[in-house]
């Protein structure tokens, strides 16, 4: 089968979960003997460096010159349209959302929907944001839609009125599989027991609830630090909240770094806390489970679908519920052992091999 990926996400991300998803799919397709080509045009993506040259059609820039992104995207649309039409793939998997397809209509198309954040939380985005419209248009004209969770499929049907049979659920997998390669002697990022938070912290990510949940528990406040990985340095509002809640200096830290740093944090943390109000899938809990870090998670959206029975759940809109859930884990050694064991089993149930095979099944359904 000749499978084409278009340029969209590779022109937008140097690193990121969506572009990594397509790089992992391409890698697995090649291992399965499929003919794959990424028509990336001018791009800035680093994950594509791992693919063989025969699977790529494009040129990588370290970064785009200032104020050229829109021009490059338009140029890529024109250039890759001709390249894809000439290559004549059996299937085109569009890597993000655009209102219309510039490619031949006779080429079957697939689009993957990652979440419905723009539809559920429109106030967190600029009023002129067009993602929701483009997503809807891409879904309506595609031959088939892949949803990364059953919860996202449910929301797709609710917001876009798409027939259920047009949507196939294919779960993602976890990339942070370096735990056995990490030098345990370097696990000294934090000397005091700590709770780990990963990723963006604003809005529906609900980081402030974690701060409040720890602050209201005398035992947690006295015995644990909080480490936030990624998401950029704390804002002035965040720092003000941290001070107002009575945390000691450096008790709440922000840390950045690569996958090896993140893996070391998972392995060193007393628990990983995921207070998000909504996720389309939820990769961090999978990463935590693979690295045998106990998962304490909100019971909302797709998260229970991913974590299953391998987490301690709480209501993300109830700070007392979150505080109690943390206490139930970190002060109970038996619960810690159980969550580590169940988490590792659960994480191993998700694989890129399975994701790729199920995606191929979607393609075959269309082209037959």
Average pLDDT over residues 140-148: 96
CB 22 within 8 A of CB 5: yes
Residue keyed to tokens 């806390």: 273
Is the pLDDT assigned to residue 99 strictly greater than 90? no
> Which strand (E) or helix (H) includes residue 40?
strand 35-43
Write out the H or E segment, with its range, that includes residue 252: strand 252-255
| pLDDT confidence bin for 239, thresholds 50/70/90 | very high
Does the structure show a pLDDT above 70 at 182?
Answer: no
Residue 180 banded pLDDT, cuts 50, 70, 90 = very low
pLDDT at 177: 60
Mean pLDDT over residues 61-81, rounded?
90
Question: By CB neighbour count within 10 A (0-12 exposed, 13-18 middle, 19+ buried), where does 195 fall?
Answer: buried
The size of the chain, in residues, is: 368
Write out the two tokens for 186.
Answer: 């370097």
d(Cα 282, Cα 78) in Å, to the nearest integer? 34
287-323 pLDDT per residue, tens: 999 999 999 999 999 999 999 999 999 999 999 999 9
Stretch 50-57: mean pLDDT: 95
d(CA 333, CA 337): 6
The model's pLDDT over 204-223, given as tens digits with 9 standing for 90+, comes to: 999 999 999 999 999 999 99
- pLDDT, one tens digit per residue, over 3-37 is 999 999 999 999 888 999 999 999 999 999 999 99
pLDDT exceeds 80 at position 75: yes
* 245-262 confidence digits (pLDDT tens): 999 999 999 999 888 899
In this predicted structure, the answer to whether residue 135 has a pLDDT above a threshold of 90 is yes
The reported pLDDT for the residue numbered 184 is 45
User: What domains can you pick out in the chain, each with its CATH number?
Assistant: 2-173+351-367 (3.40.50.2000), 184-347 (3.40.50.2000)
């Amino acid at each position: 089968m000749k499978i084409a990926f278009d340029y969209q996400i590779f022109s937008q991300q140097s690193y990121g979960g969506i572009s990594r998803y397509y790089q992992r799919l391409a890698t697995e397709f090649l291992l399965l003997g499929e003919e794959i080509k990424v028509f990336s045009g001018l791009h800035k993506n680093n994950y594509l460096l791992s693919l063989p040259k025969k699977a790529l059609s494009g040129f990588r820039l370290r970064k785009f010159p200032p104020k050229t992104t829109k021009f490059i995207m338009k140029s890529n649309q024109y250039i890759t349209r001709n390249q894809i039409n000439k290559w004549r793939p059996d299937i085109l998997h569009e890597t993000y959302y655009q209102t219309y397809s510039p490619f031949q209509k006779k080429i079957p198309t697939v689009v993957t929907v990652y979440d419905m954040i723009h539809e559920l939380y429109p106030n967190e985005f600029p009023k002129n944001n067009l993602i929701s419209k483009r997503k809807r248009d891409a879904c309506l004209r595609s031959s088939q839609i892949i949803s990364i969770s059953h919860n996202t499929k449910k929301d797709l049907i609710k917001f876009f009125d798409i027939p259920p049979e047009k949507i196939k659920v294919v779960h993602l997998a976890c990339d942070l599989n370096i735990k056995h390669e990490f030098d345990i002697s370097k696990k000294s990022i934090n000397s005091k027991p700590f709770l780990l938070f990963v990723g963006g912290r604003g809005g529906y990510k609900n980081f402030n609830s974690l701060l409040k949940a720890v602050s209201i528990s005398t035992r947690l406040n006295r015995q644990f630090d909080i480490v936030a990985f990624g998401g950029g340095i704390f804002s002035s509002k965040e720092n003000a909240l941290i001070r107002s809640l009575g945390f000691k200096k450096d008790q709440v830290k922000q840390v950045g770094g690569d996958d090896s740093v993140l893996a070391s944090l998972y392995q060193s943390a007393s628990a990983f806390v995921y207070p998000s109000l909504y996720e389309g899938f939820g990769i961090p809990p999978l990463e935590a489970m693979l690295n045998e870090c106990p998962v304490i998670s909100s019971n909302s959206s797709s998260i229970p679908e991913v974590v299953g029975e391998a987490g301690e759940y709480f209501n993300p809109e109830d700070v007392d519920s979150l505080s109690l859930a943390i206490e139930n884990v970190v002060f109970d050694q038996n619960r810690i052992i159980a969550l580590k064991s169940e988490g590792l089993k659960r994480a191993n149930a998700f694989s890129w091999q399975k994701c790729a095979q199920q995606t191929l099944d979607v393609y075959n359904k269309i082209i037959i």
